[in-house]
Amino acid sequence: MAESGSSVEFSGSLTLPPPRTRIFKIIVIGDSGVGKTCLTYRFCAGKFPDKTEATIGVDFRERLVEIDGEKIKIQLWDTAGQERFRKSMVQHYYRNVHAVVFVYDVTNAASFRSLPAWIEECKQHALGTEVPRILVGNKCDLQDSIQVGTDVAQQFADAHSMPVFETSAKNPNSQDGNYGGGNSDHVEAIFMTVAHKLKSQKPLVLSQPPEGSGGTINLSRVRDDGGDGSRSWSCSSC
Amino acid sequence: MDGGGLPTSRVVSALAMRRRFIVTTTAQEPSCGRKQKLAEIHQALISDPVDIETLRRAAASKGGLLTDELRRKVWPKLLNINVYKLPHKPGRDVRENHKDYNQVVLDVRRSMKRFPKGMPSTERAVLQEQLIDIILAVLKHNPQLHYYQGYHDVAVSLLLVVGEQMAIAMLDTLSNYHLRDFMDPTMDSTKHILNYLMPILEQVDTELHDFMIRAEVGNIFALSWLITWFGHVLSEFKHTLRLYDFFLASHPLMPIYLAATIVLHREKEVKQTECDMAMVHHLLSRIPQDLPYELLIGRAQDLFDQYPPSLLAKRAALQSRKSLSISTFQAFQLSTLHQRPDSVLRRLTKAHGSSTSKHGLEAALPRDRGQLWGKGNRMVKMAVWGLSATLGAAVFAVAHTAMDWGPEVLLQLF
């Protein structure tokens, strides 16, 4: 039924042609209010949201980027932070995830202390160590109320073999702080780091064995195709 | 904590007043059906016992309850609430020692979009603090209930229409009945309710159903629709209110039937999307803001009649699970059948010499409404009503300035 003129119809066949662009699926998790929505919005829309509300269930955002000449679709799954959602609602979205971004709020020590629970959550959803993870400390623009020091975060990240970034998803133009215009690029760099990492892991299959020592990312150049021109940026963690 | 009660009352009274102003100025589309409906609703309200069937029908049928003024009178009846025995204003203690306090504050303070655009931030802040109190008052009163993100979207929709005390009474009842399943310690019951969605689609459009199954889209795209009664996703408050009329008068599963009609309404779009979880989730979770609500409400009712929950549960072999919202609904509906009209309730309250705060009653319902509404200039009547319902002269000044942004609100809300 539903015969339409353009007839882009699936006639019972379950085999679909492979999409031309590769898709990287990244799930963003962390406590309520740490800024997951802000970060994902910033990356996908290229600007800072005016105001974000509580995420109920799971929100989806995506963006097409180009890495070394290849067009890649980055899909971000922005999840609700309240525990009751994570326990029974979000599991569906852990499936076929290529990477995980853990977010905490540098001004909220409790959100940092929750990280082991989030890591455990990933384990329970059978996300192996081969799935790249990164740790993001958000709201670092609020320098006067920082509760989680960089060194502590770095130690934690090292122990879990993941790189850590401190950033602010807030509009740097509205801040007079030391971060200035360069800060917003962190958000860009964070997700692009993950994308580079994923691109280098070819082919993208779920059962990929952990590579080498793991946890080391060397990123030489991040290209932003959002129209801001390109810039260099590097990150490494051991 | 906000400081002192007086400024709060003033500002909020101003809001109430403004809303009344808007109601009168917009309630002028000449329509015979509308007039008749208004008359029917008024008649049902003064019947003894209150003609709840007529009120339910009015709330669900075209246009819903038409005005906020009527909502303030009919909504409590739909929930069997005696507006002359409202809970007291929450004291400071509601904020003490509650496990959900932080989450509530976090969610309410960032829920700016739910308030009318153009509302001065100071007024919004006052209402946000009231919202926190309302939510915590209900949670404290019902220790078996657990806060969920989205509950605040329901609470704000009530607060903006009926004010603080009646919002507490309504939220309390809703939480124990319609929203009860969402307030368990876990969301397993919520998941169970969501699981009615696909079976409805299956009955109506197998092809669409199969497409969505192949896409493995799941049903989380409808989660916020269900648990906030669409309050979280609609940007026009008037649409939210229209749906609240409908849901308050319906079975607790009705939001799921409406969700199904929305998906069915977008059937072509869905089928033309790539058969992929992300794509379909993305499409469906972004709800079009120009949906034909009246049409969809009618269809949801038809679907409900044609495929009632019990039938779906059987056909789809839904895992049996006790739903408190469903199992208590019948008794709840019965309880609404024996309500006395407000005029009688008021007399009874007075006769009992009840010490229920007079101020509370009057804030909840205009006194001598009949005389005020009888004849003469509406604007003046509104002003008089506003004053009788609130604190007096101080309010008038505040309300006066509030008119400055009236037109904006008018565009936003009505």
Give yes or no for B6 touching A (CB within 8 A): no
Give yes or no for A109 touching B (CB within 8 A): no
Q: Identify all chain A residues contacting B219, using CB atoms and an 8 Å cutoff.
A: none
Cβ proximity of A156 and A125 under 8 Å: no
Q: Which amino acid is at B118?
A: G
Q: Shortest Cα distance from B186 to chain A (angstroms)? A: 6
Distance CA B256, CA B262 (A): 10
Give yes or no for A49 touching B (CB within 8 A): no
pLDDT over 60 (residue B3): no
Which tens digits make up the pLDDT trace of B133-169? 999 999 999 999 999 999 999 999 999 999 999 999 9
Residues linked to residue A79 through DSSP beta bridges, in sequence order: A58
Residues linked to residue A61 through DSSP beta bridges, in sequence order: A76
CB pairs under 8 A between A and B: 90
Cβ proximity of A74 and A195 under 8 Å: yes
Distance CA A162, CA B99 (A): 33
Quick check: A54 and B187 CB within 8 A?
no
Q: Identify all chain A residues contacting B227, using CB atoms and an 8 Å cutoff.
A: 56
pLDDT over 80 (residue B118): yes
Q: What is the pTM of this model?
A: 0.79
Average pLDDT over all residues of chain B:
82
Q: Identify all chain B residues contacting A60, using CB atoms and an 8 Å cutoff.
A: 278, 281-282, 285
Whole-number pLDDT of residue A90:
81
Quick check: B272 and A8 CB within 8 A?
yes
Question: Nearest 5°: phi and psi at B246?
Answer: -65, -50
Give yes or no for B19 touching A (CB within 8 A): no
Element (H, E) at A53: none
B403: left (phi over 0), alpha (psi -120 to 50) or beta: alpha
Distance CA B58, CA B43 (A): 12
Q: Identify all chain A residues contacting B189, using CB atoms and an 8 Å cutoff.
A: none
The DSSP string of B288-354 is -TT--HHHHHHHHHHHHHHS-HHHHHHHTTPPP---HHHHTHHHHHHHGGGPPPHHHHHHHHHHTT-
Q: Chain B neighbours among A 15-34 (CB < 8 Å)?
A: 16, 19, 23, 25, 32-33
Q: Does residue A207 or residue B278 have the better pLDDT?
A: B278
Quick check: B223 and A57 CB within 8 A?
yes
Percent of chain B with pLDDT over 70: 77
Distance CA B403, CA B22 (A): 10
Average pLDDT over all residues of chain A:
76
Partner residue opposite A87 with nearest CB, options B149, B152, B187: B187
Which tens digits make up the pLDDT trace of B195-247? 999 999 999 999 999 999 999 999 999 999 999 999 999 999 999 999 999 99
What six digits make up the tokens of B298?
A: 């009618």
Average pLDDT on A198-221 reads 46
Q: Shortest Cα distance from A188 to chain B (angstroms)? A: 22
Partner residue opposite A4 with nearest CB, options B149, B268, B281: B268
Distance CA B297, CA A63 (A): 35
pLDDT over 80 (residue A184): no
Strands A231-235 and A22-30: unpaired
Whole-number pLDDT of residue A92:
83
Distance CA A134, CA A219 (A): 14
Give yes or no for A118 touching B (CB within 8 A): no
Give yes or no for A107 touching B (CB within 8 A): no
Edge-to-edge strands, sheet with A133-138: A58-67, A70-79, A22-30, A99-105, A133-138, A164-166
Q: Chain B neighbours among A 59-98 (CB < 8 Å)?
A: 59-60, 62, 75, 80, 82, 84-85, 87-90, 92-93
Quick check: A84 and B214 CB within 8 A?
no
Average pLDDT on A70-77 reads 94
Give yes or no for B278 touching A (CB within 8 A): yes
For B146, name the nearest residue in chain A, comparing CA atoms only. Answer: A84
Which tens digits make up the pLDDT trace of A95-136? 889 999 999 999 999 999 999 999 998 888 878 778 999 999
Nearest to B127, CA basis, from B239, B15, B22: B15
CA distances from B110 to B118, B124, B131, B223, B378 (A): 16, 11, 12, 20, 37
What six digits make up the tokens of B91?
A: 């004291």
Residues linked to residue B175 through DSSP beta bridges, in sequence order: none
In the structure, what pLDDT confidence band is assigned to residue B113 with cuts at 50, 70 and 90? confident
Half-sphere exposure (CA, 13 Å, Cβ side) for A36?
30
Give yes or no for A55 touching B (CB within 8 A): yes
DSSP-derived letter for residue A77 is E
For B150, name the nearest residue in chain A, comparing CA atoms only. Answer: A56
Partner residue opposite B271 with nearest CB, options A2, A82, A89: A2
Which tens digits make up the pLDDT trace of B44-76? 999 999 999 999 999 999 999 999 999 999 999
**Which of B281, B283, B287 to probe the A interface (max A CBs under 10 A)?**
B281
**Which of B108, B124, B220 to probe the A interface (max A CBs under 10 A)?**
B220
Cβ proximity of B77 and B118 under 8 Å: no
Give yes or no for A14 touching B (CB within 8 A): yes
Distance CA A226, CA A235 (A): 21
Helices of type H across B177-292: 188-194, 197-204, 206-215, 223-228, 237-248, 254-265, 267-272, 277-285
Distance CA B225, CA B213 (A): 20
Nearest to A224, CA basis, from A3, A74, A53, A29: A74
pLDDT over 60 (residue B409): no
Distance CA B75, CA B90 (A): 21
State the distance between the two ends of chain B, measured CA to CA, in whole angstroms.
Answer: 32
CA distances from B192 to A236, B125, B248, B306 (A): 45, 36, 21, 21
Question: Nearest 5°: phi and psi at B121?
Answer: -65, -25
Nearest to A219, CA basis, from A43, A127, A198: A198
Residues linked to residue A30 through DSSP beta bridges, in sequence order: A103
Q: Shortest Cα distance from A23 to chain B (angstroms)? A: 10
Q: Shortest Cα distance from A91 to chain B (angstroms)? A: 11
The residue behind tokens 């019951």 is B189
In the structure, what pLDDT confidence band is assigned to residue B353 with cuts at 50, 70 and 90? low
CB atoms within 10 A of CB B323: 20
What six digits make up the tokens of B317?
A: 């072999």
Give just the sign of the alpha carbon dihedral B46, B50, B51, B57.
positive
Quick check: A52 and B268 CB within 8 A?
no
